[in-house]
Chain A
């Protein structure tokens, strides 16, 4: 369900050759309303004044209002898509900050170092609503994008049985976290913070949805929720197991993952057998 939503609404014009691009920073709080007023403590983003229509790479507010150029000093050519620009710069800063995470943790200091590296004033760090959480969320989105790319380019996934496909994809995704494993507990605690929980939950839901979709799932009823919950559980437990795993190349983690996936599929078979019509009813009791 999430995947089709992503495809339909957020597909950007930039995607050439059928490569899907996940939107970074889905700005959930920017309301597309005609009044654009803020009366709460949450800041409302005021749409910038683009001289050209806003690029569809920003999904949040597509109301580009064309006002006549009153601020004469800045030439027209330099103001192309100003709304998209600051998000691009923020992404650059976050990308650079990731390189400092191992040394400084998922923190403001890493983001300040990242900003300095890119040549932008570290004040920009103050413009991220939840600072460290923005960095973690960026990383999660980035990983998800890489996973999607892998799914799209990997032909062999279709030939595998679902349990193997799931094993491969979860392993691939968790390996992306391996370089940051020493600081990953901090990232998890940031994601668990009440302010950040809703976003991190959504990101994980999308992740789980992608994996099931790649494994060839077409369920649309209660089964859909059960499958995603189970996979969510497998993913989280493996992720936590990985934190304390010191075996070379996380061998023990992959063994753990394999066992969990097998357990889940065995359980499914068991349940199906229990409720199948081949067993005579009275034998239950």
Chain B
């Protein structure tokens, strides 16, 4: 089901994201990357990041002029060692990502590595990643615990896990407005823009099924992470959970 949904939505994914969130998803991803605080020479894994939004932001942050000006002069060649692995279960999403990279002029950049894989069974080695992000992906997996324990496995000591996901809203009036928007407006938008009502209906229902902030935080802690925190954006429409592996 998930595979089919994303094959359907792949080509319109970014456009629909813009429509549904009113462009806010860009800010959310910016916030995610600034929380991550990337550094040159970092090995990062972005899971379910098919179209590359988060990966591009991280690469830009690492390569930014400001960052380079402040760099430790003894470690100048670290820039080349940066590796950002973009892993996605769906090859169509990866293709969209690769095309976008070409458009941005990053086609030859060896820092970006596109890998097809399953979040529940990663092909990376233990203790190999400095950072792990999953943006709007964990909602779609079958076994959340497996994904979390895989994340724990591949991270190095001191590595951080960050998850950006649509979450639960508890604020009284806003909650009703959000529900109306989700169940009435979104599937209709999906029908008009992408020609696919069912996929977007699935999307909205999967948001409701996903555990609330506290429960998800406890699941992250169960996987072994420490300093588990979460930050609500837009009153809980989106939440960024983070954990540290020590």
Bound Cα distance A82, B225 (Å) = 9
Q: Which residue of A lies closest to B127 (CB)?
A: A121
Which of A42, A46, A89, A115 is the one whose CB lies under 8 Å from B218?
A46
Could you tell me if B221 and A126 are in contact, using CB atoms closer than 8 angstroms? no
Indicate with 1 or 0, residue by residue over B65-94, a CB within 8 angstroms of chain A CB atoms: 000001110000000000000000000000
Partner among B158, B221, B236 whose Cβ is within 8 Å of the Cβ of A120: B158
Asked whether, in the complex, the Cβ of A41 is within 8 Å of the Cβ of B130, the reply is: no
Q: Of B70, B226, B236, which one neighbours A109 at CB under 8 angstroms? A: B70
Whether the Cβ atoms of B131 and A44 lie closer than 8 Å is no
Interface positions of A from 62 to 106, Cβ below 8 Å from B: 70-71, 73-74, 82-83, 85-86, 89, 93, 104
Take A121-B156, A122-B42 as given contacts and tell me if A74 and B224 are in contact as well, using a CB distance cutoff of 8 Å: yes
In the complex, the answer to whether B39 meets A125 with C-beta atoms within 8 Å is yes
User: How far apart are B238's CB and chain A's nearest CB, in angstroms?
Assistant: 12
Asked whether A120 and B157 contact (CB < 8 A) given A71-B222, A71-B224, the answer is yes
A41 to B244, CA, bound (A): 19
Q: Verify B217–A46 contact, CB threshold 8 A.
A: yes
**B229 located at the interface, meaning its Cβ lies under 8 Å from any Cβ of chain A in the complex:** yes
User: Is B208 part of the contact surface with A, judged by Cβ < 8 Å?
Assistant: no
Confirm or deny: A191 has a beta carbon within 8 angstroms of a beta carbon on chain B: no
User: How far is it, in angstroms, between the C-alpha of A38 and the C-alpha of B235 when the chains are bound?
Assistant: 10
B63 within 8 A of A: no
Residue B201 at the A interface, CB < 8 A? no
Q: Does B232 contact A (CB under 8 A)?
A: yes
A-facing residues in B213-231 (Cβ within 8 Å): 213-214, 217-218, 221-224, 226-231
Return 10 A-B CB contacts under 8 Å, by A number: A45-B227, A46-B214, A46-B218, A83-B226, A120-B158, A121-B156, A123-B130, A123-B159, A124-B244, A126-B131
